[in-house]
Structure 1
């Protein structure tokens, strides 16, 4: 769901909170080392991680972290901050809001998808072959109501009443949209 830059920005924002400029400089140096290390391992075709992470993704992550740590260090130097405070980082805060909005959107879309899947699982999809007479009746009713025949059949099915003795009936109704 998130790009390497998104993940790096989120992690750096959390890890940098309350760090002094010297600690941030150490993080820049570590990220530079890791970026070189993972890029070299990728060039050699070796596995970058014992955790099963895609070597290309890991290399991209360290490159993004290195860039973000450099941005944070530059911001601190330019603004004259003794320690990094995420809330004062305008660009970092904007990116965090965008990530959260995308996350919420993805979660909402997933919830809609899951609900549709549940509803589809509860529903019945059937192909129905009727003889000529009932077929003509259904088509005539559908035409008068301005509906497709399948919708009339669905409305019939929704109104089915099963009596205690097992008989099936449908009370009179007007098909509607």
Structure 2
């Protein structure tokens, strides 16, 4: 355990020095300050674990007996699961949006009046009637497009 604490302390020093000097960042990636922060956090955590082991006389670290560390691990897993769920939901919304068709439709006076009358009768907006109309479109094998009779509804 002491070896881990020493390694983290050394890496923390190295990354902080490299971040301050502004050179040699290729091995640190695009954000050297972030790498330095990660090593500083690891150093603090390994020191905490080492102290816990000494206080309790453990020869080997036992995560299930580390109440604080186990709680943090649970919180990290909950945040990870929430993030994965949010990403999955966002991807589903993107897939659904790809399948949507958005259109601006200009109708001549005659059909426009018929759509407005049907919408008023059903208590809908004209765009809602047109959406219901589009949902019922049938395309025959010969390419003929038709819509079976229906009554617009909420």
Structures share fold, TM-score greater than 0.5: yes
Give the aligned partner of residue 98 of structure 2.
121
**Pairing partner for 2:36 from 42, 46, 59:** 59
**Pairing partner for 1:73 from 36, 43, 50:** 50
Which ranges in structure 2 are unaligned for 5 or more consecutive residues? none
Give the aligned partner of residue 70 of structure 2.
93
**Pairing partner for 2:4 from 18, 22, 27:** 27
Q: Is this contact kept in 2: 1:47–1:55, CA < 8 A? A: no
Give the aligned partner of residue 136 of structure 2.
159
Distance 1:27 1:49 in 2: 24
Give the aligned partner of residue 107 of structure 2.
130
Q: Is this contact kept in 1: 2:28–2:35, CA < 8 A? A: no
Aligned in 2, Cα 1:86/1:153: closer, same or farther, shift over 3 Å? same
Aligned to 2:61, the other structure's residue is in SS state: coil
Give the aligned partner of residue 15 of structure 1.
none
Give the aligned partner of residue 106 of structure 1.
83
Q: Is this contact kept in 2: 1:142–1:148, CA < 8 A? A: yes
Give the number of aligned pairs: 154
Give the aligned partner of residue 40 of structure 1.
17
Distance 1:38 1:114 in 2: 36
State the structure with bigger RCO (CA 8 A, min sep 6), 1 or 2. 1
Q: Is this contact kept in 2: 1:31–1:62, CA < 8 A? A: yes
- Once the two structures are TM-superposed, the CA of residue 52 in structure 1 deviates from its matched residue by 2.7
Task: Normalising by structure 2, report the TM-score.
Answer: 0.90
Aligned to 2:6, the other structure's residue is in SS state: helix
Distance 2:119 2:131 in 1: 11
Per-residue Cα deviation, 1:68-95 (whole angstroms, up to 9, x for no partner): 0011012112222221011111111111
